[in-house]
A and B are shown apart, each in its own frame.
Chain A
Amino acid sequence: MSKLDKAALGEPDTTAPSAPDDAFLSVRDLRIHFDTDDGLVKSVDGVSFDVRKGKTLGIVGESGSGKSVTSLGVMGLHRSARAKVTGEVWLDGQELIAADPDEVRRLRGRKMAMIFQDPLSAMHPYYTVGQQIVEAYRVHHDVSKKAARQRAVEMLDRVGIPEPAKRVDGYPHEFSGGMRQRAMIAMALVNNPELLIADEPTTALDVTVQAQILDLIRDLQKEFGSAVIMITHDLGVVAEMADDLLVMYGGRCVERGPAEDVFSEPRHPYTWGLLGSMPRLDREETDRLIPIKGAPPSLINLPSGCAFNPRCPYADIPKDNVTRTVRPELTEVGGSHWAACHMTQEQRERIWTEEIAPKL
């Protein structure tokens, strides 16, 4: 694992938005807006990123940041009349937003697959685990039920479910939380997808089981060389899994870059806030956490200017009230490390090294 990471670091970075050629998944200016009774909800409002084969992108954010909506958008799962999806999603050289929905459906589950947060509600309670995996396999492969069942048993075995030939006939409610998530992973991987999106895959699990599942995802990624998007609110999980990191706030990306850079030299006050909010086992015990004041914004009424400005302790540093009037664009702050903040690079560097980092 560590060797791989080192190698990745040494390589010239290709995650900049200008290089979609070698990225397996390339998202450009994705916007997903919902027309609701209360008004237009801009769940995702202009997000771009790339994921390469064998690499993991972590998407971090709080509730309502748009992280899950983004992933469902990539999968083409916002087909309701009220959702308006614009931008480009390039999967292995094929654009999906403008593509025929049935074409995208054929890619779903085969070329790109998804793991969801709560496997108990994400699996159908009336069908056995085997039936559900068989169904996922047969929709993309013209094989007999028997062959598909054999494949399901293989997959259950591969994800570490004991006695797979017996468990294949069990119902989801008969599995423990960890085993259910394994079954869910087996179902997602049954067609050898090249892109795997994991939406909070371990949030509902205990730490020891979480460690098992993360380990499993890592192993499988190594084995199949797939591109992985890991969506989570847990910075610990991201730090462990992700090569690159995307921090979302209010439907937009506020910071993006190689995971090590974002963790060691974060350049957005929101990222600082996230780091300061969590107690850490790898540091000496601190007296107080440094929370972010206020609560995540409503997507219907996003604050004008920088969406983070009402919660940002540094909102007054940039001149002319610009944080409250102008939306900051992503600017490069280091090698393929981007952040959207009105403060100057120097100001941010100073605040980070002098005020924030020592308290973490």
Chain B
Amino acid sequence: MAAADDPAAATRGRTAVAAYILRRVMGAVLLLLVVSAVTFAIFFLVPRLGGQTADQLATQYVGKDANPESVAAIKKNLGLDQPVYEQYWNFLKGLVVGADYTFGPDATHCGAPCFGYSFKSHIEVWPQLEQRIPVSFSLAVGAAVIWLVTGVTTGVISALRKGRPIDRVSMFIALAGVSLPIFFTGQILLALFVYEIPVWDSIDYVPFTENPAEWAWHLMLPWVSLAFLFSALYARLTRAGMLETMSEDYIRTARAKGLTETTVVAKHGLRSALTPIVTIFGMDFGTLVGTAVLTETVFSLQGIGAYSVQAIKDNDLPIVMGVTLVAAFFIVLCNLIVDLVYAAIDPRVRYS
């Protein structure tokens, strides 16, 4: 509309928006670099602070038949004797273009993104992660949809019926939801619907691409138990946000214009009340992809959360680092999306 009246202003607006997006994307890339550097530094330093030498680290790859020659070879191949910045550079290069390693006589190519090799199984880290990311992602996506719908709806109803029985009941359930740990609700659900009344015979991961219905059906229980916790949290947040928004002056103005209460709530109230929810949702979702450890463990799902726990137990640094970076990637990505969505919702942040 603006374009018709004033093309110059519209162009200015568009370049401002483009500049905003570009700034945010560059910020996100920079942030990922910093995270990778810090992570690398930690994982480089932790074993050395623990007194391990490059030789000892190399020994972990060789295993039982370690002899000085093989250890030296590994050390050289993995670059464990190089200074830290060089190792980091090689690591970054590996992430982008892949890397070649020679173990004994065979040269192997570790394709991009190369996170190196597991200490323990000697297999590449990335294919392992690649298998597990969809599981964790599916878990997070389904749970997110459920908790957003139930949490926001409950919150809005509670706010509009503040002090009435429905508000009190929902807020009590929400309090329970926030207080009950996932391994408790998860176990209860498992006990009820798998062991007691076998609605589900087992909880498996069926890839979405294979059969979407099966995918959803089999993930239902983990989704519900994970969503219960979050929807309780979101119900409380939405209620608080909605109560605050509905007492704003512009809501009074909307009513004074003669709008119906439904329009006032949906168009004027909810839109403002949901803005902070978007921010929190982005962070929660991003974090959840890499950290739904408890849910994955309770329901025996092969996600990256459960994988990282095993890796930590085994002191398998390359895997831990891989998981950390993947998790960081999702968090940064989600925050980037939140920033962009936020700018779309609230015109005031666009040009700041």
Known: A126-B345, A165-B5, A173-B348. A121 touches B249 (CB 8 A): yes
Which positions 94-122 of chain A face chain B at CB distance < 8 Å?
A: 105-110, 113-114, 116, 118, 121-122
With A and B bound together, what is the CA distance between A128 and B347 in angstroms? 9
With A and B bound together, what is the CA distance between A171 and B349 in angstroms? 12
- B258 A110 Cβ-Cβ under 8 A: yes
9 interchain residue pairs of minimum CB distance: A109-B258, A108-B258, A121-B249, A109-B257, A136-B257, A169-B2, A124-B250, A122-B249, A114-B256
B5 to chain A: which residues have CB within 8 Å?
Answer: 165-166, 169
Q: Which residue of B lies closest to A71 (CB)?
A: B256
- B257 A123 Cβ-Cβ under 8 A: no
The answer to whether the Cβ of B346 comes within 8 Å of any Cβ in the partner chain is: yes
For the complex with contacts A116-B249, A124-B254, 19 further pairs of A-B residues with Cβ separation under 8 Å are: A105-B260, A109-B258, A109-B259, A113-B256, A113-B257, A121-B248, A121-B249, A124-B253, A125-B346, A125-B348, A126-B272, A126-B346, A128-B347, A135-B257, A135-B259, A136-B258, A169-B2, A169-B5, A173-B347
Which positions 29-57 of chain B face chain A at CB distance < 8 Å?
A: none
- A166 B6 Cβ-Cβ under 8 A: yes
Q: List 12 A-B contacts (CB under 8 A).
A: A75-B256, A77-B252, A77-B256, A105-B259, A106-B258, A108-B257, A109-B259, A122-B249, A139-B257, A166-B2, A166-B9, A171-B348
Interface of B is mostly: helix
- A107 B256 Cβ-Cβ under 8 A: no
The answer to whether the Cβ of A187 comes within 8 Å of any Cβ in the partner chain is: yes
- A139 B255 Cβ-Cβ under 8 A: no
Size of B's binding interface in residues, CB under 8 A: 26
With A and B bound together, what is the CA distance between A172 and B348 in angstroms? 9
- A121 B250 Cβ-Cβ under 8 A: yes
The answer to whether the Cβ of A280 comes within 8 Å of any Cβ in the partner chain is: no
Interface string of B255-295 (1 = CB under 8 A from A): 11111100100011001100000000000000000000000
The answer to whether the Cβ of B107 comes within 8 Å of any Cβ in the partner chain is: no
A123 to chain B: which residues have CB within 8 Å?
Answer: 250, 253
The answer to whether the Cβ of A140 comes within 8 Å of any Cβ in the partner chain is: yes
- B258 A122 Cβ-Cβ under 8 A: no
With A and B bound together, what is the CA distance between A107 and B253 in angstroms? 14
With A and B bound together, what is the CA distance between A107 and B260 in angstroms? 12
Question: Which one, A109, A110, A169, contacts B1 given CB within 8 A?
Answer: A169
A139 to chain B: which residues have CB within 8 Å?
Answer: 257-260, 263
Question: Which one, B249, B255, B271, contacts A108 given CB within 8 A?
Answer: B255
With A and B bound together, what is the CA distance between A232 and B255 in angstroms? 22
With A and B bound together, what is the CA distance between A160 and B225 in angstroms? 58
Size of A's binding interface in residues, CB under 8 A: 31
Which positions 1-25 of chain B face chain A at CB distance < 8 Å?
A: 1-2, 5-6, 9
B348 to chain A: which residues have CB within 8 Å?
Answer: 125, 171, 173
* Residues of B near any A CB (own CB < 8 A): 1-2, 5-6, 9, 248-250, 252-260, 263, 267-268, 271-272, 345-348
B258 to chain A: which residues have CB within 8 Å?
Answer: 105-110, 136, 139-140
- B347 A126 Cβ-Cβ under 8 A: yes
Q: Which residue of B lies closest to A137 (CB)?
A: B257
A107 to chain B: which residues have CB within 8 Å?
Answer: 258
With A and B bound together, what is the CA distance between A126 and B248 in angstroms? 13
With A and B bound together, what is the CA distance between A118 and B253 in angstroms? 11
With A and B bound together, what is the CA distance between A287 and B152 in angstroms? 61
A72 to chain B: which residues have CB within 8 Å?
Answer: 252
Known: A139-B259, A166-B5. A171 touches B249 (CB 8 A): no
With A and B bound together, what is the CA distance between A64 and B313 in angstroms? 66
Q: Which residue of A lies closest to B345 (CB)?
A: A126
- A122 B250 Cβ-Cβ under 8 A: yes
Question: Which one, A108, A118, A149, A169, contacts B256 given CB within 8 A?
Answer: A108
- B255 A77 Cβ-Cβ under 8 A: yes
With A and B bound together, what is the CA distance between A77 and B263 in angstroms? 15
Q: Which of B6, B9, B253, B348 has its CB near the most chain A CB atoms (within 10 A)? A: B253
Q: Which residue of B lies closest to A117 (CB)?
A: B249
A173 to chain B: which residues have CB within 8 Å?
Answer: 347-348
B272 to chain A: which residues have CB within 8 Å?
Answer: 124-126
With A and B bound together, what is the CA distance between A121 and B249 in angstroms? 6
Q: Which of A77, A165, A169 has its CB near the most chain B CB atoms (within 10 A)? A: A169
With A and B bound together, what is the CA distance between A140 and B267 in angstroms? 17
A126 to chain B: which residues have CB within 8 Å?
Answer: 271-272, 345-347
Known: A165-B5, A169-B1. A125 touches B256 (CB 8 A): no
With A and B bound together, what is the CA distance between A165 and B2 in angstroms? 9
Q: Which residue of A lies closest to B1 (CB)?
A: A169
- A125 B257 Cβ-Cβ under 8 A: no
- A125 B249 Cβ-Cβ under 8 A: no
A171 to chain B: which residues have CB within 8 Å?
Answer: 347-348
With A and B bound together, what is the CA distance between A119 and B348 in angstroms? 16
Q: Which residue of A lies closest to B272 (CB)?
A: A126
With A and B bound together, what is the CA distance between A107 and B257 in angstroms? 9
Question: Which one, A106, A122, A149, A165, contacts B253 given CB within 8 A?
Answer: A122
With A and B bound together, what is the CA distance between A149 and B5 in angstroms? 13
Q: Which residue of B lies closest to A108 (CB)?
A: B258
B1 to chain A: which residues have CB within 8 Å?
Answer: 149, 169
Shortest distance between the CB of A2 and any CB in chain B (Å): 32
B254 to chain A: which residues have CB within 8 Å?
Answer: 124
A110 to chain B: which residues have CB within 8 Å?
Answer: 258
Which positions 59-114 of chain A face chain B at CB distance < 8 Å?
A: 72, 75, 77, 105-110, 113-114
Shortest distance between the CB of A174 and any CB in chain B (Å): 8
Shortest distance between the CB of A161 and any CB in chain B (Å): 14
B9 to chain A: which residues have CB within 8 Å?
Answer: 166
With A and B bound together, what is the CA distance between A35 and B267 in angstroms? 29
With A and B bound together, what is the CA distance between A171 and B347 in angstroms? 8
With A and B bound together, what is the CA distance between A116 and B267 in angstroms? 20
Shortest distance between the CB of B321 and any CB in chain A (Å): 42
Shortest distance between the CB of B161 and any CB in chain A (Å): 10
With A and B bound together, what is the CA distance between A122 and B345 in angstroms? 18
B271 to chain A: which residues have CB within 8 Å?
Answer: 126
